[in-house]
Amino acid sequence: MRRVPAPEPIGTLPVNLPLPTAAKLAKPDLTAERPSRAEAEAAVRTLLLWAGDDPEREGLLDTPARVARAYEEFFSGYKEDPVALLARSFEETDGYDEMVVLRDIRLESHCEHHMVPIIGRVHVAYLPQERVVGISKLARVVEAYARRLQIQEKLTAQIANCIQETLQPRGVAVVIEAAHQCMTTRGVHKPGVTMMTSRMLGEFREDAGLRREFLALVKNGAPAPEA
């Protein structure tokens, strides 16, 4: 079984890994031929049979089509380019150079190991370097990466790396708090457990006081939704 690394404790200094290039941060290459909608629906019917039910009974007749449509929404992030979402920025800031913080962004993702929901919230901050970006774009970057099969550690890094590489700010901080249905509704069955991960780049990595200020700004948010 593949071992998943432990999440970074909040406020600690992560290992200084090189940032990926903008090309690696963009939407994934899906040039390989994808199955058709009909093939996807047939796969759902197979799963219904394997689960022990009858896909031809009235209540399940439309389930394969519904599941296919739901998957298009759940995993729409594969069609998004997070780098492009941050392409437009603004320089008229009158010299603003303090933190920009977006707190309590709703997170809805799916575990890549069991394909069950990950539900929580994301806190994002950056230190502008002469330019800022529309705050809705930060939320869209979160959504673009979240609407893919994920593990929380990778999701945290992808969001932070994308903002740092694209906007080139003085620093980026990302904290994710989430509940994973892969451990709350199956397996160990531990409801109420929240996983926390963080990624600090630039001045947030180097300045402990700045990290403390960011964490103080986000710690008083509402409790993370339970999965």
Q: Is 110 a catalytic residue?
A: no
Q: Is 168 a catalytic residue?
A: no
Whole-angstrom distance, CA of residue 46 vs CA of residue 68 = 13
Which residue in 8, 80, 110, 152 is the catalytic one?
152
Which residue in 123, 143, 165, 182 is the catalytic one?
182
Residue of 111, 110, 101 whose CA lies nearest to 218: 101
In the numeric block, which tokens belong to residue 36? Answer: 């058709």
Which residue in 39, 112, 130, 206 is the catalytic one?
112
Which residue in 143, 150, 180, 181 is the catalytic one?
180
Which residue in 110, 111, 143, 162 is the catalytic one?
111
What is the phi-psi region of residue 115: left when phi exceeds 0, alpha when psi lies from -120 to 50, beta otherwise?
A: left
Whole-angstrom distance, CA of residue 217 vs CA of residue 123 = 10
Q: Is 189 a catalytic residue?
A: no
Q: Do 79 and 147 contact (CB within 8 A), yes or no?
A: no
The residues, ordered by sequence, that sit 6+ positions from 199 with a Cβ below 8 Å of its Cβ are 8, 14, 156, 157, 159, 160, 161, 172, 173, 174
The residues, ordered by sequence, that sit 6+ positions from 34 with a Cβ below 8 Å of its Cβ are none
Which residue in 108, 113, 203, 213 is the catalytic one?
113
Q: Do 119 and 101 contact (CB within 8 A), yes or no?
A: no
Q: Is 180 a catalytic residue?
A: yes
Instruction: Please list the active-site residues.
Output: 111-114, 152, 180, 182
